[in-house]
A and B are shown apart, each in its own frame.
Chain A
Amino acid sequence: GQNIDQPTEMTATEGAIVQINCTYQTSGFNGLFWYQQHAGEAPTFLSYNVLDGLEEKGRFSSFLSRSKGYSYLLLKELQMKDSASYLCAVRDRNAGNMLTFGGGTRLMVKP
């Protein structure tokens, strides 16, 4: 099976930088996804990492270390609209390439 851990809640200030960590254990790692989910809405795709390193997309970056089973999502220049849950999901080739989601990290951005 898979085990995906991420903090339950985080709080940060508008304009600041926040890093949301995700650790995972899986037998057939085949990619890690980050999704953003605003309350009452569907998850929306943010980023995808399959090789080690940093992927940058505007204010959002995602990092992966396969040897450590670790990823983080970095949000820069935080805006109030970034208040949402951030879901880490891992794809496992030994489980039919299905996605398993972590419980999500609820981020609150304060003025």
Chain B
Amino acid sequence: EAGVAQSPRYKIIEKRQSVAFWCNPISGHATLYWYQQILGQGPKLLIQFQNNGVVDDSQLPKDRFSAERLKGVDSTLKIQPAKLEDSAVYLCASSRWTGAGHTDTQYFGPGTRLTVL
């Protein structure tokens, strides 16, 4: 079974530029998550999708971050414009939806390491 795929693996941009990350979840996983992991910290949830609908985006800085999952499979996360403090690893994870508000174990992709100069 293929794992969660993400691209690019690394990205270096200057502040105020835009950047986009792509994620392809494990086949059959209805739930997709984007996390931000700053060096030395645990992952912080940015947004959670159930199929193509947003379940929670309360921690997404909506003035500069956006995410979509139009067909309920792949997802993109965009930052526009980037700030220095956005330097982090952006992790995508997916899980099965087991019903009644429950999701299964989350499986993570390799992440995109973003450096904002």
We find that the number of chain B residues with CB closer than 8 angstroms to chain A is 22
Q: Does B48 contact A (CB under 8 A)?
A: yes
Residue pair A99, B45 in contact (C-beta under 8 Å)? yes
Contact B48 A96 (CB under 8 A): yes
Question: B56, A104: Cβ atoms under 8 Å?
Answer: no
Taking CB atoms and an 8 Å cut-off, the chain A residues in 80-103 that contact chain B are: 87, 89, 93, 95-103
Q: Within 8 Å CB of B4, what residues of A?
A: 42
Minimal beta-carbon separation of A9 from chain B (angstroms): 10
Closest to B102 in A: A97
CB contacts (< 8 Å) of B56 on chain A: these are 95-96, 98
For B108, the chain A residues whose CB sits under 8 A away are 35, 42-44
* Residues of A within 8 A of B (CB-CB), count: 23
Contact B48 A42 (CB under 8 A): no
Contact with B along A37-57 (1 / 0, CB 8 A): 000111111001000000000
Chain B 11-40 per-residue mask, 1 if CB under 8 angstroms from chain A, else 0: 000000000000000000000000000001
Closest to B50 in A: A96
Whether B101 contacts A93 by the Cβ 8 Å rule is yes
Would you call A48 and B42 a contact (CB within 8 A)?
no
Q: From residue A66, how far is it (CB to closest CB) to chain B in Å? A: 17
User: Hey, what's the 0/1 contact readout for B94-117 against A, CB within 8 Å counting as 1?
Assistant: 000000011101111111010000
B residues with CB within 8 A of A: 4, 40-45, 48, 55-56, 91, 101-103, 105-111, 113
Can you name 12 extra interface pairs (CB under 8 A) apart from A44-B108, A96-B101?
A: A41-B110, A41-B111, A42-B4, A42-B91, A42-B108, A43-B43, A45-B107, A87-B42, A87-B43, A98-B56, A101-B44, A104-B42
